[in-house]
Amino acid sequence: MKSILKMILWSAIALAGASALAAIAFERREPLSAVWFVVAAVCTYLVAYRFYSKFIAAKVLALDDTRATPSERLEDGHDFVPTSKWVLIGHHFAAIAGPGPLVGPTLAAQFGYLPGTLWLIVGAALGGCVQDFIILFCSIRRDGKSLGQMAREEVSKRGGMIALLAVLAIMIILLAVVALVIVKALKESPWGTFTLAMTIPIALLMGIYLRYVRPGRVLEASLGGVALVMLAVVSGQWVNASPAWSSAFTLTGPALAIAIIVYGYAASALPVWLLLAPRDYLSAFIKVGAIAALAVGVIFVRPTLEMPALTRFVDGNGPVFAGKIFPFCFITIACGAISGFHALISSGTTPKMILRESHARMIGYGAMLMESFVGVMAMIAACALQPGVYFAINSPAGIVGKTTDAAAATIRSWGFTLDPQTMSVLAQRVGEHTLLDRTGGAPSLAVGMAQIFSGTIGGERLLSIWYHFAIMFEALFILTVLDAGTRVGRFMVQELSGHIWKPLGKSGSTAGILATSALMVGAWGYFLWQGVQDPLGGINSLWPLFGIANQLLACVALVVATTILLKMGRARWIWVTLAPMVWLVAITMTASFQKIFSANLRIGFLSQANALAAQISSGAIPADKIVVTQRLIFNNRLDAAVTAVLAVMILVLLVEALGEWIAILSGRKAALLHESPYIATRWAEGGD
């Protein structure tokens, strides 16, 4: 009886999900309610978790709860700490949730809501969650080893080196692109800049409190910090209204870029307790709170999606970024569906804290489903805007023009309605001077979120406060990624440079810290500066580069996972990791090829460099612009070289792995697994 009821329940969930997906895919008569998206996503997640992840846990990985996990065998009270799965999923989700699933879907909305939404849901269930779950399992079986160590042991030494270089490359490009998103969101915005600037003294205050007044009392310090940040958001309106204060906090793009570079350097070199850690606590609280509020807001307000299912920009000539749906929709969404970076978290702290092998299913697979849902909500918030408004905010001035009239005329010529006054009135309502040329996704997402929040609390009166709350939330946790990433990057550079000159490798040496911090900040700072100077907005070239690097890292993770499955004697089930890997290789290679060689000037780095060089030769560039143009040519060639290096790295790794797979399958080589030996658990069955 019970099993019949279960069958009926799961059939109903599957039917509801399929109906909602069908409505999203085929309904064209009137704008869709966001409820369809929530139902489609939640039902698909439930079915995927209940059936697919269970199949992977039981058949593919054969999780074994009688086996002691590293947290039991190596417990030390510091890294290896047995932790309840309900607590660990909170830690793991807070670690994997970054700006990617918010910004990526917002940018991909230029194709319409359909391609991005489908990829967010399907890509996560069949790709991203599988990667996170299996890498977590592999790391648990290897005492919490990192992805690089597993690649070196299970694939080849070269595979390990490629993983290390890929991590460093993705880190540099990631930090540059997220910094660019902040610059685009805060330029000429005194309210937003003031709020974000205030988070620095607030974090310092929290740092001193946590270090000297009440050591380690994270909760009380964070609650106080959150209250002060809210006060800063509200006070921003008075700063905005005061001519003197407003001009002090009105910064241009280049000025903001310099400020962020200086901040990144300071945060990386200062003691971690003073700025980095308290900012991280602050950001984690606001991040989780804002995401939960967005989920509640979407369900309460049930906004209607104004964006069509597919826009004319599926042809590859979109103003937000250039390129067709295949491969650029997938490269752009990246983290919301599958993120290589997650493999670093799944092979970082989480495997050292997991209590039982079976918990890997909920933590690895389940947390990624939650991340995908964040991406779906970002898609809803972006598509709830009038398409004309969305494109006016996200298109660079180089494409739509610098004035509201010019932008409205261009956007109308694309077939979307936009009154010139609409943008001025909207900017006024959210407390900004202008919303034009705010590329990067953050401002349009903030407008969408503010409309949803104000539909729940405060109405029109609080729209400007909600907008700046959303901007602060995005900028705050982007800055956290920036300073934590710079610090870790510094350690990696220090490790690598120690091979060249030993004193640089010493983690405690002040000269080493200052030099390697400068190297790391200089690397991402260069790409940031390049993005700020780019006449096409920078996002057009940097975000795809970030997407390629991220998906490349996911390829590395899936190659490692496939190799381990083969060695475990699960050749029958390797399609579980092989299928997403083949798909990722296809999109990464196609995107890399197009970004390097496409004849379309907005896609191909080389063709843009050649076109600019031809303009200089023909005398079409005025004398005073020649130096700037030469720098643009160099930057385009540099981007092409970086893309080529990333593509070659994945090809080398694939060749290495293929050789290993063929040798194992043909019996020429023994399948030597590097798992820790089996030790039975001493803990009672089923405990949390």
Partner 1 sequence: MKIVRNCTRNIWSWIRQVSGDAAYENYLRSTRRIAQAEMARVDPRIMQAACCSTRAGSAAPLTREEFYLHALRRRYSTISRCC
487 touches partner 1 (CB under 8 A): yes
Nearer to partner 1, 71 or 541 (CB): 71
508 touches partner 1 (CB under 8 A): no
Using CB under 8 A as the criterion, what x/- string covers residues 378-417 for binding partner 1? Answer: ----------------------------------------
Among 272, 397, 409, 462, binds partner 1 (CB under 8 A): 272
Q: How far is the CB of 113 from partner 1 (least distance, A)?
A: 23
Q: How far is the CB of 388 from partner 1 (least distance, A)?
A: 30
98 touches partner 1 (CB under 8 A): yes
510 touches partner 1 (CB under 8 A): no
Task: Compute how many residues bind partner 1; rule: CB under 8 A.
Answer: 57
Nearer to partner 1, 345 or 436 (CB): 345
Single-letter code of the amino acid located at 57 = A
Q: How far is the CB of 216 from partner 1 (least distance, A)?
A: 4
Among 50, 91, 158, 669, binds partner 1 (CB under 8 A): 91
**Cβ–Cβ < 8 Å for 183, 528:** yes
218 touches partner 1 (CB under 8 A): yes
355 touches partner 1 (CB under 8 A): no
Nearer to partner 1, 33 or 497 (CB): 497
| Sequential DSSP letters for 430-499 | TT-S--TT-TTSHHHHHHHHHHHHHHHTTGGGGHHHHHHHHHHHHHHHHHHHHHHHHHHHHHHHHHHHHH
Q: Given the rule CB under 8 A, which of 37-45, 215-223, 309-317, 468-476 is the region that contacts partner 1?
A: 215-223
Q: How far is Cα 243 from Cα 176, in angstroms, rounded to an integer?
A: 32
174 touches partner 1 (CB under 8 A): yes
Q: How far is the CB of 217 from partner 1 (least distance, A)?
A: 7
Site for partner 1 in 285-314 (CB under 8 A): 285
Residues 6+ apart with CB under 8 A from 591: 323, 327, 328, 331, 544, 547, 548
Site for partner 1 in 309-328 (CB under 8 A): none
Closest CA relative to residue 291, chosen from 377, 381, 178:
377
**Cβ–Cβ < 8 Å for 365, 91:** no
Among 245, 491, 575, 683, binds partner 1 (CB under 8 A): 491
Q: How far is Cα 32 from Cα 539, in angstroms, rounded to an integer?
A: 29
**Phi and psi (nearest 5°) for 357?**
-60, -40
459 touches partner 1 (CB under 8 A): no
217 touches partner 1 (CB under 8 A): yes
Among 1, 29, 30, 216, binds partner 1 (CB under 8 A): 216
- Helix, coil or strand: residue 551: helix
Q: What is the DSSP letter of 275?
A: T
37 touches partner 1 (CB under 8 A): no
Q: Given the rule CB under 8 A, which of 19-27, 75-83, 429-437, 610-618 is the region that contacts partner 1?
A: 75-83
Among 96, 121, 380, 392, binds partner 1 (CB under 8 A): 96
Nearer to partner 1, 246 or 349 (CB): 349
Among 284, 475, 548, 653, binds partner 1 (CB under 8 A): 284
Q: Given the rule CB under 8 A, which of 86-94, 185-193, 436-444, 666-674 is the region that contacts partner 1?
A: 86-94
Site for partner 1 in 605-634 (CB under 8 A): none
264 touches partner 1 (CB under 8 A): no
Single-letter code of the amino acid located at 312 = R
Q: Please, what's the b/e burial string for 198-236 (b: 16 or more CB within 10 A of its CB; e: otherwise)?
A: bbeebbebbbebbbeeeeeeeeebbeebbebbeebbeeb
**Cβ–Cβ < 8 Å for 316, 114:** no
Q: How far is the CB of 284 from partner 1 (least distance, A)?
A: 8
84 touches partner 1 (CB under 8 A): yes
| Residue carrying structure tokens 């001035």 | 397
Nearer to partner 1, 264 or 604 (CB): 264
Closest CA relative to residue 596, chosen from 583, 609, 580, 615:
609
429 touches partner 1 (CB under 8 A): no
- Helix, coil or strand: residue 70: helix
Number of continuous H segments (helices) and E segments (strands) in the chain: 32, 2
Among 70, 100, 318, 388, binds partner 1 (CB under 8 A): 100
Nearer to partner 1, 321 or 391 (CB): 321
Among 19, 317, 349, 676, binds partner 1 (CB under 8 A): 349
Q: How far is the CB of 553 from partner 1 (least distance, A)?
A: 10
**Phi and psi (nearest 5°) for 640?**
-65, -40
Per-residue three-class SS string for 560-610: HHHHHHHHCCCHHHCHHHHHHHHHHHHHHHHHHHHHHHCCCCCCCHHHHHH
Q: Is the peptide bond before 82 cis (omega within 30 degrees of 0)?
A: no
484 touches partner 1 (CB under 8 A): yes
**Phi and psi (nearest 5°) for 33?**
-80, 150
Site for partner 1 in 540-579 (CB under 8 A): 546, 550
Q: Given the rule CB under 8 A, which of 289-297, 406-414, 464-472, 476-484 is the region that contacts partner 1?
A: 476-484
Q: How far is Cα 347 from Cα 327, in angstroms, rounded to an integer?
A: 28
Structure tokens at 438: 């705010």
Among 276, 329, 472, 591, binds partner 1 (CB under 8 A): 276
- Helix, coil or strand: residue 354: strand
Q: How far is the CB of 88 from partner 1 (least distance, A)?
A: 9
C-alpha torsion angle, residues 28, 31, 35, 41 (rounded to 10): 50
Structure tokens at 312: 């004319």
Name the burial class of residue 421, with classes exposed (0-12), middle (13-18) and buried (19+) by CB atoms within 10 angstroms of its CB.
exposed
Site of interaction with partner 1 (CB under 8 A) = 75-79, 81-84, 86-87, 90-91, 94-100, 167, 174, 178, 210-211, 215-219, 222, 272-273, 276-277, 280-281, 284-285, 335, 339, 341-342, 344-345, 348-349, 480-481, 484-485, 487-488, 491, 507, 546, 550
